[in-house]
Every structure is written in C-alpha cells, then in structure tokens.
Structure 1
Amino acid sequence: MRRVGDTAIAAVTAVALCTGAWLLAGGTGAEAPPQPSAAQARTAQTGRGAAAPALPPSPPDRVRIPAIGVDAPMTGLGLTETGSLDVPPAEDENLAGWYEAGTTPGERGTAIVAGHVDNARGPAVFYRLGALKKGAVIEVDRRDGGVAVFTVDAVEVYAAKDFPDAKVYGAADRPELRVITCGGGYSRSTGYQGNVVVFAHLTGSR
C-alpha cells in the first residue's frame, strides 16, 4: 500500500481494482482493454502548456471524457483500513471515484480519480482509458455549478512493482488531474499486472 509524503494519497492497489473478473470469466472470448502506446508517454515537454487559473475547492459530481465515451457520475473515496485508496462499488460499472480527502478537481494541486476497467459482466467506466491520446479533453462537473476542463498531457502504463508514486501522486503547484485504472499484462491467477495513468492539467473552466 503506497503513500506519498505530504499528500497522504494512497495508491490504488492491484487487488482492489485489478482482478480482471470479466477476462477471467470470459476466457478467450473477452478482449483485454486497450493499452497506451509509447507515443502517449511523458516527454521533456510534457505538462509545459499554459494552465488556467486554479478554481476554489468544490467536490466533483461527474466526469466526461468524450474521446473514449465516458460520461459518469462520481462518488467520494476514502482509505481502507490498510491505508489504500478505496474503490467504487464493482457492481456499478459506470461509476468513477475521487479521493475526497485530497485536492478537488480544478483546485491547485493533484486531484485523483479512479475507476474500474471491468467487472464480472464486462467493460466498466475506464475500460478504454488506455486508448486516450495527448490533447484529449476531460471535463469535470463540480458541485458549485462550474465545469473544470483538463487537457491530457500523457497516458502511461506502469507495472505494479514499478509504480512511480511521487510522479503520479506528488504535489503540484498548479491544478492537475490523474485518472487511474488497471492495465498492463494480465494473468488469470493474479489479474492485471499494473495501472494505466492519465496525466492532465487544467486548461479552462466554465
């Protein structure tokens, strides 16, 4: 279970989000979710685009990622007894969660959003997250009536044993967003072997 210094954010555990119940049940008939290509990885220029001014804190109610067909309500996530990030209920495939003790999306800092890639019935909310491209738009409806608009800087996949905690969860001096689900290789005995992570920063609001 990972923590990141002053942000006190726990990483999504492979066991919690990454069992791959659908692939396990579907055998060869179930298709693995898309994975990001090397072209979507971070570079020396990643994240250097201009950022919009930070917004005041406000909980998020909905996340939309038009490029991959995501339009989902959001629920607050806390920490489990072991200190890892809790997850949305697996039975609700179109539900994303956010770490409600941390930064709210649009506020200065690093906001964390997580969701399942699949459940026992099939693809879930972030099944196609690995297909997202740099420059794509993520919109978050906030409880104050505003919409925080983020632009994707990079999409990467990490093996669980090499997960870069500080890179993903570390504090930021501008409004940033991380969207996380399962990814990497898949084993029928242990599930997904890692996580897909989207890096984005605030570029507008309305």
Structure 2
Amino acid sequence: MKTLRRVLRHRPAALVVPVVLTAAVATGGCSSGSGGAAGGGETAGRVVDHGPATPDGGAEPGGTRGRPERGAEEPAAPVRVTIPSVGVDSALMRLGLNKDGTVEVPPPAKGMTAGWYTGGAVPGEPGASVIIGHNSTVHGKAVFHDLKKIAKGAEVTVRNASGDTARFTVTHRETVSKKAFPTQRVYGATNGRELRLITCDGAFDAAGHPVDNLIVYATRR
C-alpha cells in the first residue's frame, strides 16, 4: 500500500486531480474559455513511490483496486458515460500515465470527450473508478461544463465494450481547492463499487485557470 507523502506544485493548467497509485498529484487542463491556455504539457499526476503505508485500512488503492485476480477474466473496459440530467453523453478515452510518470487528461482539442483513468477500478467493479472531463478549454465549452448542476440522486450510466451498463446514483458532490485536494477520499480504498467524476470549478486565477475542483461521488445501484 502506498500513500501520498508530499504534494507537487501544480503546473499552469486548470484541472487538478491528485491520484493515489503508488502516490500522485494531478494537474490537468481546463482553461477559462476567455483566454486561459490549456494544453502544451498539461498532465494529471506524477507517480512518487515513497514506500508502503496503509491508509484507511482497506484494499490497495490505485491500479490494483477493482482488478481481477491473476488468471481471472479482465472486465470489459468502459466506452461511454451518460448523465441525462446534465446533458452528458460522451465516449470515453483511456487515460494512463505519460512517460514522465504523470497521469494523462483528455487533450484540449477533445474537450467534449471524457476519459476513464485506467489506474483505478473499472466502473461497476469493486473500488473507486474515476472519470475526468474538462469544464471548458480554449476551444470553448467542454463535456463537464454543466456538471455543477448535478443533483443528489441523479443517474450516471457507464457502458462497457461488451454492451453491459453499470448504473450509479449520485450521493453527493463537493468543491475543493486544488491546494487541498482530498486524495484519499477520492482515490482511496473502498469496498463499494463507486464512481467519481472530476472537473474544474471556481473562480479564475491570474492566468485564467479555475482555482478549484468539482468532485461528484456516485455509488453503483
């Protein structure tokens, strides 16, 4: 078990998504639609291995959570996320790690497409699965632009490559400062089948980047 031991300074991009793999901090790319740049080296987390620890006493977070045992059949990857109440119906790209150990985010040119972070659980499997999307980019309104309107009880569906659908119910949401991102709460071990949706939020800093993150929590029905 690994845990976060220090927070790396975020890069000049707007979506900040700290990740627990071995340990990580994420920065990503939402900009204000009015001139803040998003792109060019944007990332979503750097893996920093600091040795074993046991946060929350649960199963190992990150890449092993929600994965089948060796020899078991791999669950089908998610390919689409739908949130009818806020008008989201998006294909899902796969988000892994860059060569420098940072976590990928959708490129600004594909701002209307959300991404599934492959280091977490497969949506619908045990553990916390994470879907990341932009609020806006320099190209304009993005896929999670209206996520702030989502209400408790709203339905989120994730369809996989086999055609099966996992249905989730929103339990709550929170807006957090990028400087105090709740890494363990979002990415930490859980015995449930849970989903987190993450985008940028809040006021803009001097560079035109939102200073907060919006996190939506949902549980499989």
Normalised TM-score (structure 1): 0.75
Contact 1:115 1:125 in 2 (8 A): yes
Per-residue deviation, residues 150-206 of structure 1 (Å, max 9, x unmatched): 000111110011111101111110100000001122124251102100000100xxx
* Counterpart mapping for 1:2-21 below 5 A: 2-4=18-20, 7-8=21-22, 10-13=24-27, 16-20=28-32
Between Structure 1 and Structure 2, which shows a larger proportion of helix residues? Answer: 1
Contact 2:30 2:137 in 1 (8 A): no
Q: How far, CA to CA, are the matches of 2:22 and 2:161 in structure 1?
A: 24
- Give the paired residue count: 169
Partner of 2:124: 106
In structure 1, stretches of 5+ residues that fail to align are: 26-54
Supply the RMSD in Å over aligned alpha carbons.
Answer: 2.0
Q: How far, CA to CA, are the matches of 2:160 and 2:218 in structure 1?
A: 17
Partner of 2:170: 152
Q: Does 1:23 align with 2:34?
A: yes
Runs of 4+ in structure 1 displaced over 6 angstroms? none
Contact 1:150 1:202 in 2 (8 A): yes
Per-residue deviation, residues 18-46 of structure 1 (Å, max 9, x unmatched): 332x1336xxxxxxxxxxxxxxxxxxxxx
Greater relative contact order structure (CA < 8 Å, 6+ sep)? 1
In structure 2, stretches of 5+ residues that fail to align are: 1-7, 9-17, 37-67, 69-73
Q: How far, CA to CA, are the matches of 1:117 and 1:191 in structure 2?
A: 11
Q: How far, CA to CA, are the matches of 1:133 and 1:162 in structure 2?
A: 24
Partner of 2:105: 87
Q: Please point out which of 54, 63, 67 is paired with 2:81.
A: 63
- When residues 91 and 61 of structure 1 are mapped into structure 2, their CA distance, relative to the original with a 3 A threshold, is same
Report sequence identity in percent.
37
Per-residue deviation, residues 44-96 of structure 1 (Å, max 9, x unmatched): xxxxxxxxxxx972210000000100000001001234433211121122211
